[in-house]
Structure 1
Amino acid sequence: MTPQQHRVTPVAIPSDSGVFRHYAATNLADAYSIELPAGASTDPEVLARFIFSQQAPWIGYLMGIRDAVVGRIGLKTTGGLAALGADGKTGRLGIFKIYVTSPSEIIVGEDDKHLDFRLSVLCSHQPSPEGKRYLTMSTVVHCHNRLGRLYILAIAPFHRLVVQSSLRSAARTGWPSVTPT
């Protein structure tokens, strides 16, 4: 794998993504893209599950701090969200509810009293003119109140680091390959 295939690039939210203009107003909207190597799966659900399973330990530590703070003010915690999907039958991907799946994209997220968010994992099935395929992870957030806006202000820098780190970690580990049908 080349160093280029470990490079995470900030990009505009792709116009063909289901989260593009998902909310009339957003309080956070970002997207990061990474090149997929030849032979890597382009199944967005497979790739999303892989990305979330490859996160660095410091991300879990940050989520623990987040849960300790937000749990006291009645917001959803990762433990509570993970319990919702414990049976494996509830349309969840880890702590996230699955909203949309298609051959090229999965959209997950959560709604809470302070904000709603959606996260897209979009795969290019067709190579670019240079013969490259990309995975783009996009996030959009719509806040309902002052608490939501304060929360986003506090976590936005960490969110960006987490997304970029998760994509780099998945690339270093080695993307899942295309499975024969």
Structure 2
Amino acid sequence: MALSRNIVSAVPLPRECSVIDHYPRTDLADAYSIELPPGVSQSPEELARFMFAHAPGWSRALMGLRDLLVAGLGLKTVAQLTATTPEQAAQRIAFFKIYSRRAGEIVLGEDDKHLDFRLSLLCPPAPRGRRLTVSTVVHCHNRLGRGYLFVIAPFHRPIVRAYLRRAARVGWPGATPG
């Protein structure tokens, strides 16, 4: 039974996901969902912070390689995006900017000269809860963006799945009383 909670499923973008119609045109849109065990936090922000704090080592290595390759193109690197002060940390999760928070959802992302993307972590309140769905939408601005997306899309999908599986294996944070 516990093993089933480590299964990550590709799902359609949930209708209640606030990024579903964020861009007039999307160049990538996907969503992955995982069951959450009883007693786990239902806070999308807490789940996001936990998930990104427990990144698989191989994904960090890929991001390092990505940074080496794109630095010469003038694209933002992880180091440039990472918070350095407590005020910045409150507005970022890992290297993602927080765009919005609402009950059951947090939206992260980044805008750059080649593409913009949004990442929704949706955890509807009980009784519909018990699942975390991570949805990604990407809008490319130019050929550089489309080329970049072509190269990274095959890595994006397994990385999202790996982040969700790893957080489940490590053990999601518990719900805080109150």
Q: Could you tell me which of 141, 145, 151 is aligned with 2:138? A: 141
Report what 1:121 is aligned to.
121
Report what 1:106 is aligned to.
106
Report what 2:172 is aligned to.
175
Report what 2:70 is aligned to.
70
2:86 is paired with a residue of what secondary structure? coil
State how far apart, in whole Å, the 2-side matches of 1:147 and 1:88 are: 33
Does structure 1 conserve the Cα–Cα contact (< 8 Å) formed by 2:53 and 2:94? no
Where does structure 2 lack aligned partners over 5 or more consecutive residues? none
For residues 18-57 of structure 1, the aligned pairs below 5 Å read 18-57=18-57
- Runs of 4+ deviating beyond 6 Å: none
Does structure 1 conserve the Cα–Cα contact (< 8 Å) formed by 2:107 and 2:118? yes
1:116 is paired with a residue of what secondary structure? strand
Task: Count the aligned residue pairs.
Answer: 176
Report what 1:159 is aligned to.
156
State the 1:117 CA deviation.
0.3
State the 1:21 CA deviation.
1.1
Report what 1:4 is aligned to.
4
RMSD between aligned alpha carbons?
1.0
Structure 2 letter corresponding to 1:102: R
State how far apart, in whole Å, the 2-side matches of 1:61 and 1:124 are: 32
State the 1:46 CA deviation.
0.2
Report what 2:14 is aligned to.
14
Structure 2 letter corresponding to 1:66: R
State how far apart, in whole Å, the 1-side matches of 2:19 and 2:93 are: 17
State the 1:112 CA deviation.
0.2
State the 1:88 CA deviation.
2.1
Q: TM-score, normalised by structure 2?
A: 0.96
Structure 2 letter corresponding to 1:96: F
Where does structure 1 lack aligned partners over 5 or more consecutive residues? none
Report what 1:86 is aligned to.
84
Q: TM-score, normalised by structure 1?
A: 0.94
2:167 is paired with a residue of what secondary structure? helix
